[in-house]
Amino acid sequence: MKNRLRVLRAEREWSQADLAQRLEVSRQSVNAIETGKFDPSLPLAFKLARLFETTIEAIFTDEHLG
């Protein structure tokens, strides 16, 4: 699943480790989500949305919709 995590992180000047700390997950997990290798669960997606003060749809894009 495509996502805008890298952009959102860059806007706040957060490293992957910074985001990982805020999400209480490993940096490896953030990297896997960011590179689209791992799709987060709904609770983690909501946590990301709350953290970036936006909606899940604004972070993740359904590739089937283009």
**Which stretches of the chain bind other proteins, using CB under 8 A?**
24-26, 28-29, 31-33, 37-38, 40-41, 44
Tell me whether residue 1 or residue 32 sits nearer to other proteins (CB atom). Answer: 32
Tell me whether residue 6 or residue 11 sits nearer to other proteins (CB atom). Answer: 6
Burial class of 3 by CB neighbour count within 10 A (0 to 12, 13 to 18, 19+): buried
**At its nearest, how many Å lie between other proteins and the CB of residue 5?**
14
Tell me whether residue 11 or residue 15 sits nearer to other proteins (CB atom). Answer: 15
Q: Are 1 and 61 in contact (CB under 8 A)?
A: yes
Beta-strand ranges (E) seen in 15-61 are 60-61
